[in-house]
Amino acid sequence: MINNYISGYVLLVTSLVAFSFGLIVWLRNKKSGINILFGLMSFCVFIWSIGLYSNLLYFLNNKPMSLLSNRLSNFSSVFIIIFWLHFILKVLNEAKSKKVILILGYVAVSLVALLTLFTDLGIKQVSRKMGFENYATAGTLYPLHLIIFSLLFCYGIFRLIANFKTSVSLRRNQIRYILLGSLIGFPIGGTTYFLVFNIPIYPFGLYLTWLYIPVLSYAILKYRLMDLQVILSRAIAVSLLGIGAVVFNIAMTVLLRPFIGDIASNSVSLLIVGFLIFGTPLRNKTLFLTNSIILKRKYEYQQTLKDAARAVTTMLDLDELLNYIIESIRKSLKTDKIVLLMNSESGLFKIRCGFGIDKDVISRYQVRDGVIDWMRNKKTVFIKEEQEMGLSLEQFSRLYKDMGNIGAELAVPLFYKGELEGVLTLDHKFNQEPYVQSDLDLLETLAYQAAIAIKNAQLYEEAIRDSLTGIFHHKYFQMRLKEEFQRSLRYGRPLSLLMIDIDYFKNINDQYGHQMGDEILKIISAHLKQFLRKADVVARYGGEEFAIILTETNIDSAVHVAERIRKSIENYNFITDNLLEIAARNKVALQEIHIAVSIGLSSFEGKDVSVTPEQFISQADSALYKAKNNGRNRVEVFVA
């Protein structure tokens, strides 16, 4: 009798799980053939489990009704397998090419189902077996039921394995989950057949068949592969809750039955179980317990997050910060290509830095809508293959646009105070393995940390940089010069300073307007950066004057750098698209623009302690005035 009670209540749970998940998947997309077939299969599992539940608990003393409920369960079980196969072939896009097999399968299943339900050729009687009251006994044609079931199952598994070998990324994940769920559910469920043939093997399928329903649901709705340790931990947590619920339900029902009857006692017990699981911390505490036991080993990702959190809070140099973020992700996820798009003043998202991306793409790629708008609305990770599966070709093309140019298989939004400030895109991994859920968790956490750190670095950059040219401003230059001057004195290392002034810049403003002059200042500022090392400092000293600190540079090397800068600007073509646009807007005839600079240079060997930073600047200024007085477009060196 105890077997009847335990199995009956577990089957009740199975029926509720099957019905709930089938309904959820069907409602998710009512027009999808995949979702419809899964819903039908889940409904058949619901009928199968309800039939056995009724047989084991309510028809103990009613042989005819017990026989009918057994036949109803077997009737639905044979439809489970054909709906499952049809579902498999639909997922694999093979339903049309395997149409003949499906038709034969439906005909064979329908014939066996009708014989099972209306004759004793399938189930001929019920009897007591291994502690179960009224367990089914096979009729003459029941082996045909088993043969058809086995053939359809084996064919479905064969098609899954064949497609799994040739699939990649999330498609491979989806097939992996369906394969896993099917290999869990059907073989375990198959243990219920042994007693039907009077083979004394315990029918574990009565307790565990329900497990495959959530796995297949996940395969349809998410496709993302989770860590096997995480799956195991959660499965054990769910199993513990399920076992506890069954034991509690049985105990409460036994206690309350004498007072309020079977149905009422069972209903009260289920309400209490539902409250304990969903209305108290019991569920979270159970999951925490299983995680602490199973997930003993720390993930490499956890260390990455710790290192990243420590690093990004201390980095104020934006380029250094962005390169660190890109490199951390590349090493952790081993991806082929990473791109960081940042929002610009125009609203366009442009490439700020990346790995594995062509320079031509970096300079010209920009995006405004499509995936950007999708992430603004959804506020979550964009996965290309998920969207391809869920959208029509036209819808997907309109959404994805040209994101393929930067290898955007995955896009992670960087939000700061609710505003989308950046997007991190990743291509495939080196080994073509898909991104698993723990990868997405890592990326989302890093994105949150990175967004805050990037904004802080941007605010710092704004505080130390000239708003027009983007290079350092006068105040920062003074601070850095004092630091480098003290370092030069301390270690006796050379230090050089260039003061640069644009020749006849007033004429440009007078002839073309100040907008044109501002644009030329921007061009020259960007141009100067090309001649400098990371340790050097270029700043706007004031107006059209620039200053460059050359660390660890003696006078000869400094003269060489200065001459390279002077010649490069003299030969540079200043007719850019921006200048042409400004000229057209101001209705100014833009002629060929020749620009030259005068450069004054002072150098310090780190030995004369009587020289101060202020004097050092004055020396470079004196050399600059000398260059101006000697005809401009030249380099002059301060001589004491």
Q: Residues 328-333: contacts with CB within 8 Å, 24+ apart?
A: 328/304, 328/446, 329/424, 329/426, 329/443, 329/446, 330/355, 331/304, 332/300, 332/301, 332/304, 332/442, 333/426, 333/429, 333/435, 333/439, 333/442, 333/443
Evaluate whether residue 545 is within a structural domain: yes
The 10 Å Cβ neighbour count of residue 577 is: 7
Average pLDDT over residues 236-258: 76
Rounded (5°) CA angle 414-382-409: 105
Strand duo 545-551 + 635-637: pairing: unpaired
Position 327 scores a pLDDT of: 83
Q: What is the residue range of 607's domain?
A: 474-637
Domain boundary residue, one of 463, 493, 512 = 463
Phi-psi region of 492 (alpha: psi -120 to 50; beta: other; left: phi over 0): left
Q: Which of 45-59, 218-232, 275-289, 563-577 has the lowest mean pLDDT?
A: 218-232
378 φ, ψ (degrees, to nearest 5): -80, -30
- pLDDT tens column, 116-173: 888 888 888 887 776 667 778 888 888 888 899 899 999 999 999 998 887 766 677 7
Partners of 351 in the β-ladder: 341
The whole-number pLDDT of residue 297 equals 43
Q: Is there a contact between 440 and 381 (Cβ–Cβ < 8 Å)?
A: yes
How buried is 475 (Cβ within 10 angstroms: 0-12 exposed, 13-18 middle, 19+ buried)? Answer: exposed
Does residue 599 have a pLDDT over 80?
A: yes
Are residues 498 and 397 both part of a single domain?
no
Let me know: does 406 contact 361? Beta carbons within 8 Å.
yes
Phi, psi of 593, deg, nearest 5: -100, 125
CATH code: domain of residue 140: 1.20.1070.10
User: How far from the centroid of its chain's Cα atoms is residue 313's Cα?
Assistant: 23
Q: Is residue 468 part of a domain?
A: no
Tens digit of pLDDT for each residue in 457-499?
Answer: 877 777 888 888 889 999 999 999 999 999 999 998 999 999 9
DSSP 202: -
Residue 366 lies in a domain: yes
| DSSP code string of 575-607 | --HHHHHHHHHTT---------EEEEEEEE-S-
SS3 87: helix
**pLDDT score, position 169:** 61
Per-residue pLDDT band at 244 (split at 50, 70, 90): confident
| CA 211 vs CA 21, 218, 234, 247, 504: distances in Å | 11, 12, 12, 18, 81
The answer to the question of residue 502 being in a domain is: yes
- Strand-strand pairing, 597-604 and 123-129: unpaired
- My answer on whether 217 and 248 are in the same domain is no
Q: Percent of the chain, pLDDT > 90?
A: 21
Sign of CA dihedral 538, 542, 545, 549: negative
CA distance 604 to 488: 8
Mean pLDDT for all residues in the chain: 81
Q: What pLDDT, in 10s, does the model give residues 426-466?
A: 988 877 777 777 777 778 888 888 888 888 887 777 788 88
> Phi and psi at residue 454, in whole multiples of 5°?
-65, -45
Q: Which of 181, 204, 225 is the last residue of a domain?
A: 225
pLDDT value for 560: 94
Question: Which residue among 176, 197, 225 closes a domain?
Answer: 225
Which amino acid does the sequence have at 383? Answer: I
Residue 625: closest CA among 602, 608, 609: 602
| Distance from C-alpha of 607 to C-alpha of 617, rounded to nearest angstrom | 17
Residues 457, 547, single domain; the answer is no
Is there a single domain that holds both residue 343 and residue 480?
Answer: no
CA 414 centroid distance within chain: 12
Domain total of the chain = 4
Q: What does DSSP say about strands 635-637 and 597-604: parallel, antiparallel, or unpaired? A: parallel
Residue 236 located in a structural domain: yes
Of the pLDDT bands very low, low, confident and very high (cuts 50, 70, 90), residue 109 is: very high
Residues 279 and 305 in one domain: no
Length of the chain: 640
Q: Is the pLDDT at 228 greater than 50, yes or no?
A: no
- In the 8-state DSSP scheme, what is residue 352? E
Give the three-state DSSP class for 432: coil
φ, ψ (nearest 5 deg) of residue 343: -70, 135
Ordered alpha helix ranges (H), 365-436: 371-378, 384-390, 393-400
Per-residue pLDDT at 326 exceeds 90: no
In the chain, what's the furthest Cα-to-Cα distance? Answer: 119
Assess contact for 342 and 352: CB atoms under 8 A.
Answer: yes
Residue with tokens 């920062």: 476
Domain match, 192 and 85 both: yes
Q: What is the CATH number of the domain that holds 507?
A: 3.30.70.270
Q: Which residues contact 89 (CB under 8 A, 6 or more apart)?
A: 95, 98, 102, 156, 159
Percentage with pLDDT > 70 across the chain: 84
Residues 265 and 306 in one domain: no
Q: First vs last Cα of the chain: how many Å apart?
A: 109
User: Are 521 and 544 spatial neighbours (Cβ–Cβ below 8 Å)?
Assistant: yes
Q: Would you say 601 and 635 are in contact if contact means Cβ atoms under 8 Å apart? A: yes
Task: Tell me how far apart the alpha carbons of residues 262 and 265 are, in angstroms, rounded to a whole number.
Answer: 5
469 found inside a domain: no
Q: How far apart are CA 132 and CA 3, in angstroms?
A: 6
Residue 201 resides in a domain:
yes
The whole-model pTM stands at: 0.52
Residue 488 pLDDT? 92
The label of the residue with tokens 């793409």 reads 361
- Looking at the structure, tell me whether residues 176 and 70 fall in a common domain: yes
- Which region among 152-161, 248-257, 605-614, 620-629 has the lowest average model confidence (pLDDT)? 248-257
CA 38/CA 345 separation, integer angstroms: 48
Instruction: Name the one residue in this structure whose structure tokens are 């209903």.
Output: 267
Q: Quick one: 617 and 592 in the same domain?
A: yes
Examine the domain organization and report whether 440 and 568 are in the same domain: no
Same structural domain, 52 and 164: yes
Both 505 and 539 in one domain: the answer is yes
Q: Does residue 85 register a pLDDT over 90?
A: yes
Give the pair of three-digit tokens for residue 407. 């290898």
| Bridge partners of residue 126, in order along the sequence | 136
Query: Cα dist. 45→126, 198, 235 in Å?
Result: 21, 24, 20
Helices vs strands, H then E, count in the chain: 25, 13
**284: in domain:** yes
Residue with tokens 């097999």: 101
Which of 404, 388, 399 has its CA nearest to residue 170?
Answer: 388
Task: Locate 568 and state its tokens.
Answer: 């490069």
